[in-house]
Amino acid sequence: MKTVDARGLSCPEPVVLTRKALQSKENAYQILVDSETCKENVTRFARSQGYNVKVTVKDDDIILDLSK
C-alpha cells in the first residue's frame, strides 16, 4: 500500500499528489489530509478513477483508504 502524506497542503496539491500516486497502478492507497475540503476533493477524484474510499478521522488527521 502506497501512502501519501498531504497534511498541511492546500488544494489542489493533495489531488495532484494522489493522481501521481495512482500512476503506480497499485490496488490500495492511503492518503492523509487535514481539512474537510481536501477530503472531499481527493474523495471525488479517487471515485472518478474507480476507487472505493473509506474515511477515518483520527485526532486532527483524516485518513482516506482507497481500494479497488
List, in order, residues 6 or more apart from 31 with CB less than 8 Å away.
3, 4, 6, 14, 17, 18, 21, 42, 46, 63, 64, 66
Q: Report the CATH number at residue 43.
A: 3.30.110.40
List the domain range (segments joined by +) for residue 30.
2-67
**50-64 pLDDT per residue, tens:** 999 999 999 999 999
At 20 the pLDDT is: 97
Number of independent structural domains in the chain: 1
What is residue 7's predicted lDDT score, i.e. its pLDDT? Answer: 97
Q: What tens digit of pLDDT does each residue of 3-49 get?
A: 999 999 999 999 999 999 999 999 899 999 999 999 999 999 999 99
User: Please, is 7 exposed, middle or buried when counting C-beta atoms within 10 Å of its C-beta (0-12, 13-18, 19+)?
Assistant: middle
- Cα distances (angstroms) measured from residue 68 to each of 6, 19, 48, 51, 55: 21, 15, 12, 5, 15
